[in-house]
Amino acid sequence: MEYILETKALEKKYNKFKAIDNLNMHIPKGAIYGLIGKNGAGKTTLIRLICGLQKPTSGIFMMYGVSNTDKKMKEERKRIGAIVETPSIRIDATAEDNLKEQYKILGLPSEENLKEILKQVGLSNTGKKKAKDFSLGMKQRLGIAIALVGEPDFLILDEPINGLDPEGIIEIRELILKLNKEKGITFLISSHYLDELSKVATHYGFLNHGKIIQEISKQELEQNCRKRIEVKVNNLKECIQYLEENSISYEIKDNEKINIYDTVNISEFAVALSKRNCIIEEFTEKEESLENYYINLIGGESNV
Ligand code: ATP
């Protein structure tokens, strides 16, 4: 798998406190990677390290295969765009002037894709309106437009939907999906809004107390949260044989439990199994929300 970003035992200490602790993360090329963690989990600190705004205490990270300790990293960073905490926009300037400023900062002589960027983020018609009169959603989209000036192939967005109204949230979501699909931009998006993130993310990293406690793909997460019946039986072999013969979708959980994903009539199922000398000892219907999945993962701490 080709990774845009990989971290190895990354650590950031503030005095004795480890804000980032032995952190290992893998962002595949083309992914929309949702970094999920409650307040104080370390999301912003991690993003600041990746963007070079702070230095790790120990450990390394590789961007496009180049280590942060390598001099070439300065060049590689030009391939990323980022909005950390709040978008850095000039509120007394128009959208167009904000972008022009960014071309100057990056030392890019031509502004040929300026109009295209404004169109992409839906700010083509803002004319002389100054950024201070924009809605929060428009300001966020302007921030993304500024980040797009250098034509990055990796965009890092720290809590991009914080404070946005439902319409603003939809606009940002659609913009992320469009840039990922049409421009092939890889995203790292931090959030504590799991449900919202689940509408865009292809991969997740669950962050808790400065550590990535699980990395999981969208498919794996959906599988884990899928509606299912968990049965505990005294004769796993016979149970499997019955499920196979009747083309019932299942997964073996351990040496006495099976997850069944199709709808089954439980009394018929129990009778059929008992004829095979197999007794159902436990039967539980399960369906997990994304929110619950995370809370279970971090051991019941809420405040996501
Ligand atoms: P939030 O969702 O609230 O923004 P976060 O996941 O982004 O939280 P961070 O801002 O990265 O979390 O903070 C992680 C931990 O590191 C917190 O406990 C925070 O208090 C601590 N921390 C962050 N910056 C500093 C600093 N400059 N000095 C000391 N401690 C810090």
pLDDT tens-digit readout, 227-258: 889 999 999 999 999 999 999 999 998 888 99
Q: The tokens 């603003």 sit on which residue?
A: 168
- Mutation pick for ligand 1 pocket among 12, 25, 38, 45 (CB with most ligand atoms within 8 Å): 45
Q: What is the pLDDT of residue 112?
A: 79
Residue 299 phi, psi dihedral angles, 5° rounding: 80, 40
- d(CA 254, CA 241) in angstroms, rounded, equals 16
- Mutation pick for ligand 1 pocket among 14, 85, 197, 294 (CB with most ligand atoms within 8 Å): 14
Q: What is the pLDDT of residue 1?
A: 78
Centroid of ligand 1 to alpha carbon of 210 (angstroms)? 9
Are 210 and 16 in contact, with CB atoms under 8 Å apart?
Answer: no
Which residue's CA is minimally distant from atom 3 of ligand 1?
39
Three-state DSSP at 297 gives: helix
Q: What is the pLDDT of residue 271?
A: 94
Which residue's CA is minimally distant from atom 10 of ligand 1?
44
Are 280 and 235 in contact, with CB atoms under 8 Å apart?
Answer: no
Find the helix packing angle between 166-183 and 136-148, rounded to 10°: 20
pTM assigned to the model: 0.83
- d(CA 143, CA 232) in angstroms, rounded, equals 53
What residues does ligand 1 touch, defined as CB less than 6 Å away?
14, 19, 37, 39-45, 192
Which segments in the chain show pLDDT lower than 50?
Answer: 303-304
Q: What is the pLDDT of residue 300?
A: 64
C-alpha distances in Å from residue 54, one per residue of 44, 46, 58, 184, 217: 11, 9, 12, 28, 29
Q: What is the pLDDT of residue 196?
A: 82
Q: What is the pLDDT of residue 38?
A: 87
Tell me how far apart the terminal alpha carbons of the chain are, to the nearest angstrom. Answer: 31
pLDDT tens-digit readout, 127-169: 899 999 999 889 999 999 999 998 999 999 998 888 888 888 9
